[in-house]
Structure 1
Amino acid sequence: RTLNPALQLTERQEHISGLKSVDATEQAPLQAGTVAPLEDYRTVMVQRAIFQSLASMGLPAFTIHSVVRYSGRAMKNMKNTRIRTWGPIGLGLAVVPALPTLFDEPVENAVEWLFHKGFEAYGGKQYVGDAPTTGREDLLVKKPTKEKEL
């Protein structure tokens, strides 16, 4: 609604977003606002893609590969062939539940910080607007505050 404030919302959209449609006859024409380049949808898509490639694919794959590789080396002299064969695989799979808690928050904070500092260095304060350095996802989760009716 920042770029197109005169957009008419359906009842369902009003209910979900908590916003009210503006009737053109009620007030003066609205001026379109601007979105800081850091919060532009294209920037957010690139930021999310980098986060997903690092936190969901790259680092977990490297971690699982390392666990399997080094546990295989540690178990190479075991007499039981089943343990020697399946032990490293089981250890690699056992690491998977810990990966989101291990990588998600640090990678997200690092990517947000890099984008914020990069945009601030390239375009100055107007390129980042009033966005925080990290923790932007927390702000997106919050529900909009509804105005009290008189």
Structure 2
Amino acid sequence: EKIIELDVEGPAEVTAGDILTDSDIEIVNPDHYLFTIGEGASLKATLTVNSGRGYVPADQNKKDDAPVGTLAVDSIYTPVTKVNYQVEPARVGSNDGFDKLTLEILTNGTIIPEDALGLSARILTEHLNLFTNLTEIAIATDVMKEVDTT
């Protein structure tokens, strides 16, 4: 969790690049338009930023000890912006019974596509391991009772 600040005076078009950060925080898209502030107006805001995964609604971002006037907002942690895939027939030696998978992964720059693919593969493996463990439990559990026919 980090604290960043925004301190602007109008008239101005305010962009993400106007946010004051320390060396640990990088504004990925400094040209991103935030709002327009009018003549004679000013805004000073303290922002709390965090890292995470997936979507977090505003009510889960609220803190009980937050000062009066604090606005909790939704958080969305989705560095992957688009994924395309293509499956084509492939030949290995004289055998043409293979497929070639081509992935196109686009990100917002906070993660490189190779790392996004690796993380996705790890998450998928962890989820699939749940099924493997269930299979092992089912095998170890004696479901059928043997009937004594004597």
Per the normalisation by structure 2, the TM-score is 0.26
Structure number with the bigger relative contact order (C-alpha 8 A, sep ≥ 6) is: 1
Per the normalisation by structure 1, the TM-score is 0.26
CA radius of gyration, larger in: 2
Between Structure 1 and Structure 2, which shows a larger proportion of helix residues?
A: 1
Between Structure 1 and Structure 2, which shows a larger proportion of strand residues?
A: 2
